[in-house]
Structure 1
Amino acid sequence: MSKFLQVEFGRTAKLFLGLILSIIVVNLLMYPTIAGLSESNTLLQGLAMSFLVVLMFVLNLLFLFMIISYFRRDLYHDSRYLTFSLPVSSKGYLGAKLINSVFWIIMLLIGTLALNYAAMTYTFGAAEINTFFDYLSNNIISSPIIVVLFILYSLISLVFTLVLMYFCIILSKTLFRSNRLGYFWILFYILLSSLLEYGISYISRTIPLFVMANNAEFRWITMTEELAVNGGMLNDPNSLTLFTGISLVSLFLYTATTILLFVLSAKLLEKKVDL
């Protein structure tokens, strides 16, 4: 899998690096535009800001489209014969695709956050930014533990989403050989994601076991009527705290479902997909 991962990284690096840099540049251009709007709200500046917002949306949409497109192309384009002639198992192929996609998404997030922080510090001053983060740490984020759990939950959710998309694309290829009919994967994804999200949310509410972080204290509790469940997150509607708990049941179900979908995708790719 490592050799195929190197090949996959090599053929996607130029495109994704270009998209990430484009998104970052457009993001940075918004700061002087916002500063100009705050000083003198002219029609030209308003149009420029609107253009940057639309361009940012299009670039992010293109980033997601290319992640999906690189996977679909291996199943429908003529290059699939070369790809699947390589000495790599179906699990190794899916694993390399997944690692490569997660890597570029994380690079986009890290790059955007880091340069946004630098741009905000330059625009508003270090004192203002430190005051903002102090407010977050004191009022919005309950403790570092819950932040770590939230990052873990977000990472598992990201992998779950990608694996589910891969599964739906492979399922569509199994049922429809035509490239056009292959776009039925979108319908499969909407249906399966809705059913799985509802099922996981329902079970999480039925078995309300959460990990709580309060003043850096790690403890186990069950849900009370004063707390509301939002997906796999637990929130207190009477508090400004952003995350008060993470559902252990939800974490387990997302992880187990992701593994199951990954195994099923590999089996379908190996046994059922007609190249």
Structure 2
Amino acid sequence: MLKKLLKYEIRNTLKFLVIFYSISVIFALITRILFAFEDSSFMVYFFSRFCQGVTISMMCSALFNNLLRLWVRFRQNFYGDESYLTHTLPVTKGTHLAAKFINSVVTLCLTMVVIGICLCIMYYSNGIGEAIKSFVYPAADMYGTSIITLILVFLLILFLQFFNILQCGYTGIILGHKLNKSKIGLSVLFGGIIYMGSQIVTVLLMLIASLYDTRIIDLFTELNPVISPSLMKLIVIVSIISYTMVIIVNYLISVKLFKKGVNVE
């Protein structure tokens, strides 16, 4: 049943997001073509910059609407118009949340991939590629890793940050709908509080890690701490582990709260 739910969730979410994906890619292609001729006239230059702006705004909108759409669907499915149908299905609440969780991972990753593709379409060239390599290579060499690994680690941390925001929103919606008044407002409030709490927990986990490596504490006690390559590696590892733990714990809390009952509208 999880497979069917997941297929339904992904199809429903992408049906909405594909509009932003398509516009982003189309305008990225137009921008790339206009870039090749922007020196020919002022109007070509103007339209190239206009299309560039549209592409960037659509990429940002795709990410923002990805998060917003998932939150809206979460509320509609469990507390809104579709809630009665959802809760009559022969599926456990844990399975429902698992489908939402996996769908969030898939669509958020896909949105980030589309943004990356659009950026490559607009800007990539041999010159840009070499410039990126020359900029990133010293850092990769200093940390004893490859350029690809460094970029992937950065993207992973970025993904975990966005996914943490998304998961905090889910938990906020569950808590907000435990009460009988101002459910939407309280959902936003609880989501914000949970997110701030997750950031505090991440900092606390960093402090706990400083018990095993005292160099981490320098980040909290010194204005200009010396960050060696080995320390930076440790910070990245601790950050990834911390965010992963926070997301998992937040998800388990959501499952527990959800299983205690749902107040549909």
Contact 2:93 2:258 in 1 (8 A): yes
Name the CA distance, whole Å, in 2 between partners of 1:149 and 1:47: 31
Q: Match for residue 254 of structure 2?
A: 265
Q: How does 1:181-200 map to 2 (within 5 A)?
A: 181-200=183-202
Evaluate the alpha carbon distance shift between residue 41 and residue 175 of structure 1 in structure 2; reply closer, same or farther with a 3 A threshold.
farther
Moved more, 247-256 or 4-13: 247-256
CA positional deviation for 1:170: 0.7
Q: How many residues align?
A: 251
The 8 Å contact of residues 8 and 100 in structure 1, kept in 2 or not, is answered as yes
Task: Name 1:173's counterpart in structure 2.
Answer: 177
Q: CA RMSD in A?
A: 3.6
CA distance in 1, matches of 2:228, 2:40: 37
Answer whether contact 1:149 1:246 (CA < 8 A) is retained: no
Q: Distance in 1 between matches of 2:259 and 2:16?
A: 29
Alignment of 1:57-206 (within 5 A): 57-121=60-124, 125-126=125-126, 128-141=127-140, 142=143, 143-144=145-146, 146-176=150-180, 181-206=183-208
Q: Describe the superposition over 1:35-88 as per-residue Cα deviations: whole angstroms up to 9, x where unpaired.
A: 677776679559836862555544543333212211111133221111122222
Following superposition, the deviation at residue 106 of structure 1 comes to 0.9
Contact persistence 1:28–1:116 (CA under 8 A): no
Tell me, in whole angstroms, the C-alpha distance in 1 between the residues paired with 2:235 and 2:42: 43
SS of the equivalent of 1:223 reads helix
TM-superposed CA distance for 1:169, in Å, is 0.6
> Would the aligned equivalents of 1:156 and 1:255 in 2 still touch at CA under 8 Å?
yes
TM-aligned CA distance change 1:118 to 1:222, over 3 Å? farther
Structure 1 segment 186-265 matched on structure 2, within 5 A = 186-208=188-210, 223=215, 228=219, 244-265=233-254
Cα contact 1:28–1:119 (8 A) shared by 2:
yes
Letter of the 2:79 partner, please give it. Answer: Y
Contact 2:5 2:96 in 1 (8 A): yes
**Cα separation, partners in 2 of 1:190 and 1:37, compared to 1, 3 Å:** farther
**Paired amino acid for 1:82:** L
Q: Is the 8 A contact 1:34 1:49 kept in 2?
A: no
Shift of 1:196: 2.2
Q: Shift of residue 202 of structure 1?
A: 3.7
Residue 259 and residue 58 in structure 1: after superposition, are their counterparts in 2 closer, same or farther (change >3 A)? closer
Question: How many angstroms apart in 2 are the aligned matches of 1:236 and 1:209?
Answer: 18
Q: Distance in 2 between matches of 1:187 and 1:49?
A: 37
**Partner Cα distance (1:86, 1:257) in 2:** 30
Percentage identity across paired residues of the two chains: 20
Deviation at 1:96, TM superposition (A): 0.7
- What amino acid does structure 1 have at the position aligned with 2:9? E
The 3-state SS of whatever aligns with 1:182 is helix
Shift of 1:34: 6.1
Query: Which one has the bigger helix percentage?
Result: 2
- In the aligned structure 1, how far is the partner of 2:205 from the partner of 2:263? 37
Gaps of 5+ in 1: 211-220, 230-234
Q: Give runs of aligned pairs for residues 15-34 of structure 1, distance below 5 A.
A: 15-31=16-32
Unaligned runs of 5+ in 2: none
Residue by residue, what CA displacement relative to the aligned partner does 1:116-147 show, whole Å, maximum 9, x if unpaired? Answer: 324434xxx42x13312321342243423555
